[in-house]
Amino acid sequence: MDSTVMKVDNPQVNFNTINDLKGLMPVYHQEYDTFYLRGEKPRPATSYDLNGTAWLRVDVESGDIVGLQIDDFESVFLKKYPELAKAWKEVKPLCVRPKSRKCPVDAEESFLLIIINFLLTLFRDNPQQESFIFLPA
């Protein structure tokens, strides 16, 4: 069957907003082994796959990055990037849902900086992918 390629009108991710993640809250959902950076009340957003490593949560209108999701966080991600595992060990008890109210801000901020620096490196090494959807002619 012939097929055509349709370029869809999706938001361009505004990578300049990556540093906004610093103001978000780390949350770990142990049962689903999923790590999130999100606001106290998560915003509606679409998701952008970053090289199979993480999902960036992106505002559909502005393209601003409003959150982060990493699937298989302990089972795959930390094994792939062991340099983050040590920092995670210290921060994990503060991030497991339901979130502790006694979270030391310094430890949380340090971990956020480590994660964001890691993402910035990942962006540099992986240019943005286009999104195409294949449709029948």
3-state SS, one letter per residue, for 7-60: ECCCCCCEHHHHHHHHHCEEEEEHHHCEEEEECCCCCCCEEEEECCCEEEEECC
**Cα separation, 27 vs 22, whole angstroms:** 13
| Closest CB to another protein among residues 83, 136 | 136
Is 48 an interacting residue with respect to another protein (CB under 8 A)? yes
Among 71, 84, 103, 114, binds another protein (CB under 8 A): 71
Stretch that binds another protein, among 18-26, 31-39, 88-96, 99-107 (CB under 8 A): 31-39
Nearer to another protein, 44 or 105 (CB): 44
Residue 49 binds another protein (CB under 8 A): yes
| Choice between 85 and 110, CB closer to another protein | 85
Angle between helical axes of 82-95 and 105-125 (0-180°, round to 10) = 140
The DSSP bridge partners found for residue 48 are 56
Q: Retrieve residue 124's tokens.
A: 């540099």
Sites for another protein among residues 90-119 (CB under 8 A)? none
Distance CA 13, CA 48 (A): 8
Q: Is there binding between residue 17 and another protein (CB under 8 A)?
A: no
By CB under 8 A, name the binding residues for another protein: 1, 3, 8-11, 13, 27, 29, 31-32, 34, 36, 38, 42-49, 51-52, 55, 58, 60-61, 69, 71-72, 75-76, 129, 131, 133-134, 136
